[in-house]
Structure 1
Amino acid sequence: MAFIDFLIHNKWIILFYLVILAIVIINRKKFEFQAKFIALYKTKIGIPFMQKFADKYGEVIRIFGYMAMGIGFVGMLVITAFMIQGIYTLLFQPSAPAVLSPFIPGVQIPGSPLKPPFWESIIALFIVVVVHEGSHGVVSKLYKIPIKNTGIVFFGPLIGAFVEPDEKKLEKQSDIVKHSIFAAGPFSNVLLAVVVALLLLLIINPLQSSMTTPSGFTFSQVQEGYPAASSGLQPNIVYDSINGKPIKTIEQMYNELQCIMPNQSITISNANASYSFVTAANPQNPERGYLGIMNIQEKQTLKSDTAFNRTAYAILHWLQKLFEWIIIISLGIGLANLLPIGPVDGGRMLHTALTTAMGKERGHKAWARISIIGVIVIVILLFVPIIKAII
C-alpha cells in the first residue's frame, strides 16, 4: 500500500518525468548514449565565457584551485566518516531517519525525511549543477586544457549538465593541476552554499521578519511508529500550544521540548484540536524524549494584510525556499562528488594521489578496492531505508 500511495501522491510529478523521458527517446538521434540510460546532448555553450573568465581572473582562479585542493581532501574525509557513521546508525539505530537518500525534485523518497518542492528544487538543482560544472571548465581553461563539449545530460528522466575537458591533455598535467580541476566543482558548491546562506540570513530573513509576527509552529511529516503518528497528530497544521503553554516561535518550542524525557506526557494543540501522547526514547539519544515530527517550521502572520504585502511576502517566501534548497543541494552534491569512489571528483583525486604515492599499478588496485567498498556502502545506505519504508 505504501508504494501505491507513493505513486498516487506523486502522479503529476511522475507524469512530468515520463514526458521528459519520452522527449529524450523521440529525439534520441540528437543524443549520445552511455550505459543505455545516460543521454548526453553536446553543445559548445559557455566555452567562450569560461575562456574569458579564466583570462581575466587567472590569478584568483589559481588561488581558488589551490584552496579547492585542501578543502577537497578534507571534504573527502568528512563524507567518508559520514558514510561510516551511516552504516553504524543503520545497524544499531534502525528506527533513525535515513542518512542518505536519492534526490528527485518534487518526490519524497520512501524512508527519507526530505520532501523537495518541485519547482524550487529543480531550479536549485540546475543552478548548483551549472556552478559545479562551470568551475571545472574555468579551472581547466586556466591551465590551457581544451573543453571539447558542454551540454545537458539526462540520467533517465533526471536532468543535469556536464563539461567535457580533453582527458588526454588533462592526464599529462601535474598532480596539483589535476587536483585543482577535480576539486573545483565541489569547492564551488561549498562557496555557493555559503554565499546563498549569507543572502538568506542578511537579506531575505530580515525582510520577512519585518513584515510578519510569529503565530505558532508546523511540520510537514510525522514518523510512523512514533507517538505523534500514533496519536493522530496532523502535519501541515499550525499549532500554538504545548502542555497548555503558548508557543509562538521555534525557539519557544525547542525550549519547551529540550528537557522532555522518555515516557513523559505531551499535549500539542491549537484553537481547533488537541493531541496528547507519551514520548518515546530518542533513537539517537535514549535518555531524551522523542515525538516523531519532522521538518519543523515557524508559522508567520502578516502584520498588515494588504494585497501588496501578501504579494511581497509570497515572493520572499518563495525565494527563501529556493535559497534553502540551493544550500541543501549544493552541499549535498559537493560532498557526494568528494566520495572516494569511481569516476566522481573525489574518486579521481584519490586515484591521482594513490598512483603517485604507490605507483601506477598498485595505486590503481588500491583505488579499485576502495571504490568497490564505497559503492557497496552507498547502495546499502540508499536502498535499505527505501525497502524498509515500502514494506
Structure 2
Amino acid sequence: MKKRDIALAILSLLLFYAIVQSSAGALIKFIASIFIFILLTNYYKRTYNIPTMYGFLLLRTRKGLLLLNKIAKKHSDLITLLADMSLGLTFGLLSLFLLDWMSFKRRLVSVVGGFLLLIGIFFLYPAATLYITSFASMPASSQTVQGFDIVLPLITFIGGLFSSTILVTYKAAFSILAMLWDKFVVGSDVVVAQGATLLLPGVTIPLVEGIFALATVLIIHEAAHGILAIAGRIRLKSTGLVFFGSLPVGGFVEPDEQELMRRPKEVQARTIIAGVGANFFATLIFGFIFLSFLAITGPFTANGCFITGGNLPHGTVVTAINGVPGCSSHIEANSTVDLTLSSGETVTFVSDANGKIGILAYPLGSNSMLRFYSNPLLSFLYHVLGLTLVINLFVGIINLLPVPLFDGDYILSIFAGKSLLYKALRYSVLLSFLLLLLPGLL
C-alpha cells in the first residue's frame, strides 16, 4: 500500500475519533462515520482491487491456515467433543434423536455436556444483561419472558437453546405487535417497549473497547468454523481480516461451501455449530475473567448512582448527592438537591412532596455489577472484558435463530431439509426478528 493511502487510513481513524467525541447526536455521528468509511471502502476497492462482501473489505491471506491446521490436527478429538456438546446445548433432549450418527453413549455425553454449558450461561446471563444496561436501555427480561417461568426452562430442557430462543423471539415480537396495535390503531397512550438494541461501537457502546471486543468475538467465531472444517477434511480457500474502510472489524474463514454441502450430515452440523459453540465457551471464559476482575478491583471502584431513566440521560453517573458521596443520601421533601456528576458538573433539582426528584437510579460500588472507575486503565479493562462477555453471549444466542445468513438457518436446513417446517420457521422467525428492530426506528 502506498504511503499516501496509509496516511489516508490514519487520517480517517483520527476523523472518526473526533466525530465520536463530538457533542453531535448519536444518529448524526453514526451517519457521518458510516459515510466516511463507505467512501474509503470504495476507494480501496477500486485502487487495490480488494474483494468486498456486504460493504466490507476482505483482506485474504493463507497465513492463518497454518495455525488453524495445527490446532485441528493436534486437538481433533477435543474440538469434535466440544462441537458435539454445542449440538447438545442447541437441541437439548432432542439431541438423543437428532444426532443419530453417534452412539447412544456419545449422544448422552453431548446432552449432559450441553446442559452443563447451559447452566454456566444461565449463571452469567444476569451479569451480562445488567452490565450492558450501562450503555443501552435493554428490554427487561420480565417483559420478554413474562409468564414463561415454568414453560421456558422446560422448552429449553427438551428442545435446547434453539427452541427456547425461537419461542422468546415469537413472544417478544407478539408483545411489540400488540403495543403497536394499541398505539396506532386503538389510539391508546402506550409507550412501545424497546425490542432490540444494536451494539454499535462509538454509538451505543464505547468506541475503542467496542471494536476490540467485537473483533475478538468475530475472530473466535470464524476460527472455530475453520478448525472444524479442517477436522472434517473440508478445504479452506483462505483466511483473512475484515475492514470497514480503515477500521478493522474482525476476521473470516472461507471454507469451500460446495465441498461442505457434499459432506455427511455430522460434518456439516459440527462445522456450522462450531462458531456458536465457540462463542458460548468464550462466554464462560470471559465471564470468569470478568467476575474475577470485579472481585480484585472492588477497592478501586467509586461509589455513586447509575441513572437508568427520568430527568437525567440514561448512563449518567452521579458521584455525590448534596455533597455526600454515594447514592444513599436522604432527600428532604420540597428541598433543593445538588447532584455532582462524574464529569464534575453539578445539576440542581427541587424535590416534590415525597422527596422525589424524578430519576431512576442503580447504586454503584464494590458490591455492584455496575462499576465506575476513575482510573482510565481499570475503566478500559472493565469495559473490554464486559463487552467481550456480552457480545459473545448475544452473538451465540442470536446466531441460533433460523433466519437467512445466521448459523441457525443452516443448522435447521441440515436436519429439516427444505421442508414445509423449515420454510415456516425460517420466515416466521425472520418476520418476528424484524419486528423486534421496528421500535428503534419509530
- TM-score, normalisation: structure 1: 0.71
Separation (CA, whole Å) in 1 of partners of 2:171 and 2:336: 34
Separation (CA, whole Å) in 2 of partners of 1:198 and 1:40: 33
1:339 aligns with 2:401: yes
Aligned positions, number: 323
2:404 counterpart SS class: coil
1:149 aligns with 2:238: yes
The superposition leaves residues 3-30 of structure 1 with CA deviations (integer Å, 9 ceiling, x where unpaired) of xx99644655654443332221012143
**Aligned 1:256-267 pairs, distance under 5 A:** none
> Higher strand share goes to which structure?
1
Question: Which residue identity lines up with residue 315 of structure 1 in the other structure?
Answer: L
User: Residues 216 and 250 of structure 2 are in contact (CA less than 8 Å); yes or no, is this contact kept in structure 1?
Assistant: no
Corresponding residue number in structure 2 for 1:380 = 435
Which runs of no fewer than 5 residues in structure 2 stay unpaired? Answer: 1-21, 92-159, 180-189, 341-345, 367-372
Shift of 1:149: 1.7
Which runs of no fewer than 5 residues in structure 1 stay unpaired? Answer: 108-114, 223-227, 257-264, 280-290, 301-309, 356-362
Identity across the alignment (%): 21
Separation (CA, whole Å) in 1 of partners of 2:248 and 2:198: 11
Cα separation, partners in 2 of 1:70 and 1:268, compared to 1, 3 Å:
farther
Separation (CA, whole Å) in 1 of partners of 2:273 and 2:32: 36
Shift of 1:201: 1.1
Corresponding residue number in structure 2 for 1:90 = 176
**1:159 aligned to 242, 249, 259, which one?**
249
Separation (CA, whole Å) in 1 of partners of 2:390 and 2:222: 18
Shift of 1:182: 0.9
User: Residues 176 and 435 of structure 2 are in contact (CA less than 8 Å); yes or no, is this contact kept in structure 1?
Assistant: no
**Aligned 1:46-85 pairs, distance under 5 A:** 46-73=64-91, 74-85=160-171
Separation (CA, whole Å) in 2 of partners of 1:120 and 1:159: 12
Cα separation, partners in 2 of 1:233 and 1:170, compared to 1, 3 Å:
closer
Cα separation, partners in 2 of 1:319 and 1:7, compared to 1, 3 Å:
same
Shift of 1:159: 3.5
Separation (CA, whole Å) in 2 of partners of 1:345 and 1:278: 55
Cα separation, partners in 2 of 1:266 and 1:211, compared to 1, 3 Å:
same
Separation (CA, whole Å) in 1 of partners of 2:314 and 2:350: 9
Corresponding residue number in structure 1 for 2:424 = 369
Separation (CA, whole Å) in 2 of partners of 1:332 and 1:380: 18
Corresponding residue number in structure 2 for 1:286 = none
Separation (CA, whole Å) in 1 of partners of 2:270 and 2:336: 54
**Aligned 1:178-327 pairs, distance under 5 A:** 178-202=268-292, 204-212=293-301, 214-219=302-307, 222=309, 228-229=310-311, 236-238=316-318, 248=326, 270=339, 273-274=348-349, 276=351, 293=360, 296=362, 298=364, 313-327=375-389
Corresponding residue number in structure 1 for 2:266 = 176
1:19 aligns with 2:29: no
Corresponding residue number in structure 2 for 1:303 = none
Shift of 1:88: 2.9
Separation (CA, whole Å) in 2 of partners of 1:378 and 1:71: 22
Cα separation, partners in 2 of 1:56 and 1:95, compared to 1, 3 Å:
same
Cα separation, partners in 2 of 1:374 and 1:235, compared to 1, 3 Å:
closer
1:80 counterpart SS class: helix
Cα separation, partners in 2 of 1:80 and 1:268, compared to 1, 3 Å:
farther
**1:32 aligned to 47, 51, 62, which one?**
51
Cα separation, partners in 2 of 1:368 and 1:159, compared to 1, 3 Å:
farther
**1:99 aligned to 195, 203, 226, which one?**
195
Separation (CA, whole Å) in 2 of partners of 1:347 and 1:328: 22
Cα separation, partners in 2 of 1:11 and 1:347, compared to 1, 3 Å:
same
Cα separation, partners in 2 of 1:27 and 1:207, compared to 1, 3 Å:
same
- TM-score, normalisation: structure 2: 0.63
Question: Which residue identity lines up with residue 427 of structure 2 in the other structure?
Answer: I
The superposition leaves residues 267-289 of structure 1 with CA deviations (integer Å, 9 ceiling, x where unpaired) of 9864764454699xxxxxxxxxx
Cα separation, partners in 2 of 1:96 and 1:350, compared to 1, 3 Å:
same
Shift of 1:192: 1.0
Question: Which residue identity lines up with residue 236 of structure 1 in the other structure?
Answer: T
The superposition leaves residues 284-316 of structure 1 with CA deviations (integer Å, 9 ceiling, x where unpaired) of xxxxxxx7747x46157xxxxxxxxx99x4212
98-107 vs 11-20, greater mean Cα deviation: 11-20
Separation (CA, whole Å) in 2 of partners of 1:160 and 1:49: 17
